[in-house]
Structure 1
Amino acid sequence: MPEAAAMPVDPKRPSAFISHHSSQVAIARRLKTLLAARGIDGWLAPDDIAAGTAFDQAILDQIARSDAIVLLFCAQSDQSRHVKRELMLGEDGNKTILPVRLEDVPAQGLAYWLKDYQWIDWFAGEEQAVDRIVAAISGKPTPSAFAPTAATHSTAPRRRTLWLGLAGAVLVAALAGGLWWHSRGLDAVPAGEVAANPIEPGIWTGKREMVQILFPELPPEYQKQIKDMVETDPDPEDCISEKVAAKPDVELFDPRHESQCTIGSFKMNGGRVSGYLNCKIAGDPKGNLQITIRGTYTRTSMEFDNVVTMQTSQGMVRFRTHETQKWLRGPACSA
């Protein structure tokens, strides 16, 4: 049999080995195309294995050549011995491993290999997922991308939001370039995913805490500035109307639809809350904001651990926040 050889890639461009289950080959090909448009060569089997060559050797050689392993994770790949072998080879070669979830399922068969890696959620936004993959492969943005500018304070009117910390996230966008975010339409909450009357209507007050800046590594003075902006809320009280308290929907996250973001996979039932919030950033065609919400609630309290990802044309910042909310009084309020 002829010696195995992978299809050639441009040595001047970074490259990514796309590990996937055969059932997800369409998404793997889509990702390869999107990466190519951003200056990264993707490689996947069997498309990029020359005719007549040995699969195993071609895969082994390409993993050694690649800068990163991008795992398209799903229930099928979680149980695949081929995917497992590719991750083992990647770790042995000290490659960057980027697990990309195609569906919201926990890792079981691959839990040992994936427990220490930050997930990228394809289902929470294709464009944002690709941007994060590119940022991780091509290198971190310079700290200067997040330095304060003359436009640190936006002239847009204040957005009164609830416990997701959107005001803080918007201020981070301003720190990155004086940008503000705007509407992208509102998604309906699927019936049956949200309990009836889960919380009390009325006035709620909250506290937001910066837990950790995950990306990039910023100088201490910039970290402090982001932390101060995220945690400072001059008006911590918000009104939850009787209608929203009876059947929470997007207005719980975006009172009066002022910010008009999209929400996906929203669940609020059995004392637990989860979901994803996505927004565009006005004035920046590449700008995007995502907040992943996981938490618990009672009738008079809510507590959340959030992951906020802000992508602008100047770079990306990603951080964790912890939110606590308590009911003060009600039910009447002017929402």
Structure 2
Amino acid sequence: MKHALAALPLLALLAACGKADGELEPGNWKNTMAMTKFDIPGAPPEVAARAKAMLGQSQTTEACMSEDEARAGVRTMSNSMQQGQCTMEDFKQGGGTMSGTLVCKGAGSFGAPKMAMTGTYTPTKVSMVMSGEMTDDKLPGGKASMEMTLTSERVGDCKK
């Protein structure tokens, strides 16, 4: 009971702000993903050049975030990366920062079986960095390391 009473001022403060920690603004969101690191130690020059050419290339999409999705917030946005046989483990958020580990069985959607995720968020912007290592006998040296950034930013109202 004491703990419940101690939490009341915090809940009142959050209610006064109008948004819970991690809650986002509904509307049209622009999502950009870019590879920022892709190293293959021991790769022949032509393979290393192809890996380097991938750096800086980005993919951008836009999507309308409903009020319910926005209220569900950062945790739900991070969980959306759980495609195929991938799950987000050890997810933590609070005070504008978040972290977790994306674990994929099989090849995985992102290429590495386990990727560390760190990020920041406000009600109108979410930024994440994901990094991990791949091991595969087909790779020169048997492994590669990669890092990518994912940025989602509210860019206006949803298009009708």
Q: Which TM class, normalised by the smaller chain length?
A: 0.5 to 0.7
> Given the alignment, which residue of 120, 126, 143 partners 1:296?
120
Name the residue aligned to 1:328: 155
Structure with more contact order per residue of length (Cα contacts < 8 Å, sep ≥ 6) = 2
Q: Which amino acid in 2 is paired with 1:270?
A: G
Contact 1:200 1:331 in 2 (8 A): no
For residues 268 and 249 of structure 1, what CA distance do their matches in structure 2 show? 8
Greater Cα shift, 269-278 or 319-328: 319-328
Superposed counterparts of 1:15-94, under 5 Å:
none
Name the residue aligned to 1:221: 46
Superposed counterparts of 1:1-335, under 5 Å:
196-229=21-54, 231-248=56-73, 251-253=76-78, 255=80, 258-281=83-106, 289-314=113-138, 315-330=142-157
For these two proteins, the number of residue pairs brought into alignment is: 136
Deviations 1:46-99 (A, max 9, x none): xxxxxxxxxxxxxxxxxxxxxxxxxxxxxxxxxxxxxxxxxxxxxxxxxxxxxx
For residues 124 and 99 of structure 2, what CA distance do their matches in structure 1 show? 18
RMSD over aligned CA atoms reads 3.5
Gaps of 5+ in 1: 1-194
For residues 243 and 218 of structure 1, what CA distance do their matches in structure 2 show? 47
Q: Which amino acid in 1 is paired with 2:117?
A: I
Larger strand percent: 2
Contact 2:32 2:59 in 1 (8 A): no
Q: In the TM superposition, what is the alpha-carbon distance from 1:291 to its structure 2 partner?
A: 1.7
For the structure 1 residues 230 and 196, does the alpha-carbon distance in structure 2 shift closer, same or farther, using more than 3 Å as the test? same
For the structure 1 residues 257 and 318, does the alpha-carbon distance in structure 2 shift closer, same or farther, using more than 3 Å as the test? closer
Larger helix percent: 1
For residues 33 and 81 of structure 2, what CA distance do their matches in structure 1 show? 21
Max Rg structure:
1
For residues 250 and 292 of structure 1, what CA distance do their matches in structure 2 show? 15
Q: Which amino acid in 2 is paired with 1:275?
A: G
Q: In the TM superposition, what is the alpha-carbon distance from 1:318 to its structure 2 partner?
A: 1.1
Q: In the TM superposition, what is the alpha-carbon distance from 1:265 to its structure 2 partner?
A: 1.2
Q: In the TM superposition, what is the alpha-carbon distance from 1:263 to its structure 2 partner?
A: 0.9
3-state SS of the aligned residue for 2:25?
Answer: coil
Q: In the TM superposition, what is the alpha-carbon distance from 1:254 to its structure 2 partner?
A: 5.3
Q: Which amino acid in 1 is paired with 2:104?
A: C
Q: Which amino acid in 1 is paired with 2:154?
A: W
For the structure 1 residues 282 and 276, does the alpha-carbon distance in structure 2 shift closer, same or farther, using more than 3 Å as the test? closer
The share of aligned pairs that are identical, in percent, is 29
3-state SS of the aligned residue for 2:116?
Answer: strand
For residues 48 and 28 of structure 2, what CA distance do their matches in structure 1 show? 32
Contact 1:267 1:275 in 2 (8 A): yes
Q: Which amino acid in 1 is paired with 2:72?
A: K
Gaps of 5+ in 2: 1-19
For residues 259 and 265 of structure 1, what CA distance do their matches in structure 2 show? 19
Contact 2:96 2:121 in 1 (8 A): yes
Q: Which amino acid in 2 is paired with 1:267?
A: K
For the structure 1 residues 266 and 312, does the alpha-carbon distance in structure 2 shift closer, same or farther, using more than 3 Å as the test? same
For the structure 1 residues 258 and 208, does the alpha-carbon distance in structure 2 shift closer, same or farther, using more than 3 Å as the test? closer
